Amino acid sequence: QSALTQPASVSGSPGQSITIPCFGTSSDVGSYKLVSWYQQHPGKAPKLMIYEDTKRPSGVSNRFSGSKSGNTASLTISGLQAEDEADYYCSSYASRRVWEFGGGTKLTVL
Amino acid sequence: EGQLVESGGGLVQPGGSLRLSCAASGFAFSRHWMHWVRQAPGKGLVWVSRIINDETGTIYADSVKGRFTISRDNAKNTLYLQMNSLRAEDTALYYCARGGIVANAFDIWGQGTMVTVSS
């Protein structure tokens, strides 16, 4: 049972936009500007896509964006491409001084 | 950009011990907090432990507290995870990850080392 809740799967067609929610609580997502998102392709290490709720690391496509409202963070991918098909994980710092991950969302590009 | 390379994984019996290492290169290792994150086969990411940059200040997930010890040697640019009293549920791919300074997140990851706990 993961501390943060994500849908198990989402799907979209090439060119469309999708949003992956990450549901937390007032002890994690809602308390800190420290939500991050990771992309993981099969057999590969995770890659940082979004940090501090909304910021994008250098080199990450601007098709990826992050947002947050209350205890819910979201990752939006616009202009879906085949290479975006992967697992996506949210993470947040929590009040117990630990870090938490969501259970992961499998993105399928139809 | 930086690189992390884990080693030390393998097959161990329940109750046994293992020491993982993570060699860092290409960045100022001593400036960064470092983390261990694990992923059981077919499952999601789980944060395990963190150590701050001055070799003190450690914290653990409840599931490993009292059994695992994180440490680092800044002179050798190496992070460690001593794992004792291993259980079947500790079976996972163990990643080391760098805590970013500009990006307050896990900004660089190694490729992982597999730990299998089985009799």
Cα–Cα distance for residue pair B51/B94, rounded to 1 Å? 16
State yes or no: pLDDT of B45 exceeds 90.
Answer: yes
Nearest CB to A104; choose among B44, B104, B110 = B44
- Are A74 and A80 in contact by the 8 Å Cβ rule? The answer is no
State yes or no: pLDDT of B17 exceeds 80.
Answer: yes
Inter-chain contact A45–B95, Cβ cutoff 8 Å? Answer: yes
Residues A35-61: tens digit of each pLDDT: 999 999 999 999 999 999 999 999 999
- Are B44 and A101 in contact by the 8 Å Cβ rule? The answer is yes
Q: Which two tokens stand for residue A14?
A: 């090439």
Determine which of B38, B89, B106 to mutate to test the interface with A (most A C-beta atoms within 10 Å): B106
Q: Which residues pair with B109 in a beta bridge?
A: B97
Query: What is the pLDDT, as a whole number, of residue A2?
Result: 80
Low-confidence ranges of chain A (pLDDT < 70): none
Query: What is the pLDDT, as a whole number, of residue B56?
Result: 78
Cα–Cα distance for residue pair B72/A61, rounded to 1 Å? 34
Containing A99, the helix (H) or strand (E) segment is: strand A99-101
Query: What is the pLDDT, as a whole number, of residue A32?
Result: 92
Q: Where does the pLDDT of residue B36 fall: very low under 50, low under 70, confident under 90, or very high at 90 and above?
A: very high
* DSSP class of B32: S
Cα–Cα distance for residue pair B116/B80, rounded to 1 Å? 18
Q: Summarize the confidence of residues B48-67 as an average pLDDT.
A: 92
How far does the CA of residue A30 sit from the closest CA of chain B (Å)?
16
Cα–Cα distance for residue pair A92/A33, rounded to 1 Å? 9
